[in-house]
Every structure is written in structure tokens, then in C-alpha cells.
Amino acid sequence: MSSRLEFDDIHCALRESVDGWAKAFLEPGAAERDENHRFDAELYRQLDTELGLMNITLPEAYGGSGLDLAATVISIESLSACDPGMAMSYLSQELLFSHQLYFTWLNEGIGRMPGRHGDILRQKSLAGMAMTEPDAGTDVFGMKTRASEDSDGFVLNGVKQWITNGTNGRYFLVYARTGDNRRDLSLFLVEADREGFVRSSCAEKMGMRSSETGILTFVNCHIPADALVGKLHEGVKPMIRNLAAERLGLAAQSVGIAGRCVSVMRDYVQQRTAFGRPIAEFGQIQHMIARCYAEYHAMRSMLYDTVWSMIEGAPDASLNADATKLFCAHAAEEISRCAIQALGANGYSNAYPVSRLHRDAVLLSIGGGTDEALEKNISRLLTKSRA
């Protein structure tokens, strides 16, 4: 490979297809969905029926396209340029549910996936992953949700919070404590219609409003033995493995937001005049645009370099995924803020998408690993690698 930033014909066609669909169908109602905190289920289904994006990294036998992680990242970036909330719902289903469910069985090497799990994947129903709890976010080992074994399966008790697709998803991968040791966590596939599974909405959010976020409560919720995904007490392995993929998905959202903001800012400053000339001719504006474009270009280069390194199995892929999300999330927030400044009152209003995109960008420094947690991880891994 001469350059890790080169894309093959399939990747290029995918980007063109998703870009075109997003501009034609996702963008027109994005502001309304944001204002009304509305998830559009019919529009979301078109991600599969019109674009074929669901199960994109899975084999055809499971309704997938057999493509690589780069295809998922490209899709998320393109969707995020128009509606990051819709992209977040897609990220949750694609990376946190489908990708994680299939590749956990593939990588654990403990036999074939249960037929029921395969059938669920082929359904492509809206789904998500439940890890965060009211008192356990960054400290995942502090989770209190427990799955106790009984004669024919497990009984779940606990609460999960801030779960993407939580109020409307049909299936969830749920992490729960199964032993007394801090790392005795296991992963379970749970249907939302199980008795003892109760869900409700979270408080209204600052951004990502077109993606529904819920609270999942389990009260003596019985799940069958084959609900276990992978090995008992060894859920940390798939968790860590999939966190890197999730963080690249979130970095892709950052890149999509940043690219759109640079584009809006560039077009606006050429049309807006002050003192008899376009504001693009003023040094302060030129400085802002140049810095934002350079930062956006660095974000995108870093993202896809890390994606290719993960596909190729590079030993530092997880470290670089953390660094990529850290850098890209901060840059997206900074670039979207600059876009608001460049557009002035128009940027602060809802007349242009930059204020909405800025609110969406703020989440990316929090979800999927806070900036502070990533800084700790990166420092620890770098120190360990030099020891």
C-alpha cells in the first residue's frame, strides 16, 4: 500500500453514494428533527434499503456487505456532515451492536454463533449497546448491573443510562457483573420485550437530538443461557476491542462536523460583505479559515491513517484510536465554534447549521471515553511502551 490515505473504488463509490443521499434526504429535515428531538425511523431504515449500510462489515450470510472498518467510518463521516444525531444512531447499531456481536464470536474462537444471534443480525432491527450506568461511566469496572445464573439462564438486575437507541431499539448488548472480582464482567444479548425490561427517556440533551437516548432498567429480567455472548466473566476482552472501533466512529463524526463547518464558513465569507468588500478579504477571517482547514485536514489524515493501521492489525492501533478521538473531538468543537464566530449573528442563529453542529460536537469529548480518560490511557500506554 503506497499510502494509507488511498481508497479503493468501492470506498470512493460508497462515499459518493452516502454524500449524495445525505444531502438530498438527510439534510432537509435535520434542523426540524433537532428542534423537536425527533428520531425519524422511516428515514433511518433508508440507510439500509437505499444505501445498504447496515451490517456493512459482516459477511453476506448475515445480511452484510463484507466490507472493512473503513467503509463504516466513511459512512459515519458522510452522515455526520448533515445530521450527527442520525449518524450516532447508526454508529450505535452498526459498531456497538452488529459489529461487536459478530466479531466477538469470531475472535473468541469458542465455536459457532448461536443460530438465534445470527437470525437477529439478519433482521437489522434498531439496536444498541448498554454499558454506562448512573454511577459508572468512565469507571466501567464500577458497574453494578448484575447477571446471576439460575437453572436455565441468567437474571438481570440493574440500571443503564445514556443508552443510544435506548427508547426505541429492539435488541441490546448489555454488560453486567457476573462474579465478585472487579473484572468479572460478561456480555449478553437482550431483547427489549423481555419481562422485567423497563425503559424510559433520559433528560433532554444539548445536542445529538435526532438520536434517542434512554434509561434501561432490569428488574429480575430473565434471559436464556444462550443470551451470553462470548465467555462467562470475560466480557472485558470484547469491550476493549470494540472501544477502539467505537472511538474511530466518534472521530469520524468529528471529521464530518468539522468538514461541514469549514465548507459553510468558506462559502459564507465570500458572500458576506463589510465596509464594501467580502469579509474573506480581511486578515482575521483568513487566519480563522486557514487554521480551521489545516486542522480539519490533519483530523481527516489522522483518522484514516489510524483506520488502516487497525485493519492491518498494527500493535499500536488501540493507542492511536484513543489519540485520534482525543484530537478530533477537540478540533471539531474548536472548528464549529470558529464557524459560528465567522458567521456572526447568523452563526449564532438557526439560519445556518453551524450552531447545531457545534452543540452536537460537544458530546464527542464526553461519549465513548472522556478526554480526561483518554489522556490517562494514552499516557499510561506510552509510558508502558517505553519501560
**Per-domain residue ranges of the chain:** 9-123, 127-234, 237-386
Q: What is the model's pLDDT at position 4?
A: 52
| Beta partners for residue 310, in sequence order | none
Q: How many Å apart are CA 115 and CA 118, to the nearest integer?
A: 5
- Is the pLDDT reported for residue 109 higher than 80? no
Contacts of 277-281 with C-beta under 8 Å, sequence gap 24+, read 279/342
Widest CA span in the chain: 80
| Nearest by Cα to 216 from 240, 237, 188 | 188
Angle at alpha carbon of residue 84, lines to 82 and 85, rounded to 5°: 120
What would the pLDDT profile of 240-255 be if each residue is shown by its tens digit?
Answer: 989 999 999 999 999 9
**Quick one: average pLDDT of 62-75?**
96
CA angle 52, 299, 382 (to 5 degrees): 110
User: What pLDDT, on the 0 to 100 scale, is given for residue 58?
Assistant: 97
Query: On the CB side of 298, how many CA atoms lie within 13 Å of its CA?
Result: 17
Handedness of CA 245, 247, 253, 254 (dihedral sign): negative
Specify which residues 97 forms β-bridges with.
Answer: none
Name the pLDDT band for 6 (thresholds 50, 70, 90). low
Q: What pairing do the DSSP bridges indicate for beta strands 171-177 and 127-130?
A: parallel
132-168 CB burial, b ≥16 within 10 A, e <16 = bbeebbeebeebebebeeeeebbbbbbbbbbbbbbbb
pTM over the 0.85 mark = yes
157, 221 in Cβ contact below 8 A? Answer: yes
- Contact status, residue 77 vs residue 22, Cβ threshold 8 Å: no
Residue with cell 473468541: 108
The answer to whether 246 is a known catalytic residue is yes
Please report which helix (H) or strand (E) contains residue 174, including its range: strand 171-177
Distance (Å, rounded) from C-alpha 336 to C-alpha 259?
Answer: 9
What CATH class does 127-234 carry?
Answer: mainly beta
Q: Which fold has domain 237-386?
A: Butyryl-CoA Dehydrogenase, subunit A; domain 3 (1.20.140)
Query: pLDDT over 70 for what percent of the chain?
Result: 97
Mean pLDDT of 323-347: 98
**Looking up cell 470512493, which residue turns up?**
12
pLDDT interval class at 1 (50, 70, 90): very low
CATH, range 9-123: 1.10.540.10
* Residue 197 main-chain phi, psi, to 5 deg: -100, 110
Q: How far apart are the first and last CA of the chain?
A: 32
- Rounded distance, CA 39 to CA 208, Å? 10
Q: Please determine whether the domains at 9-123 and 237-386 fall in the same fold group of CATH.
A: no
Tell me the pLDDT tens digit for each residue of 26-48.
999 999 999 999 999 999 999 99
- The active-site residue, picked from 234, 246, 295, 333, is 246
Q: What is the spatial distance between Cα 224 and Cα 222, in angstroms, rounded to a whole number?
A: 7
How confident is the prediction for the chain on average, in pLDDT? 94
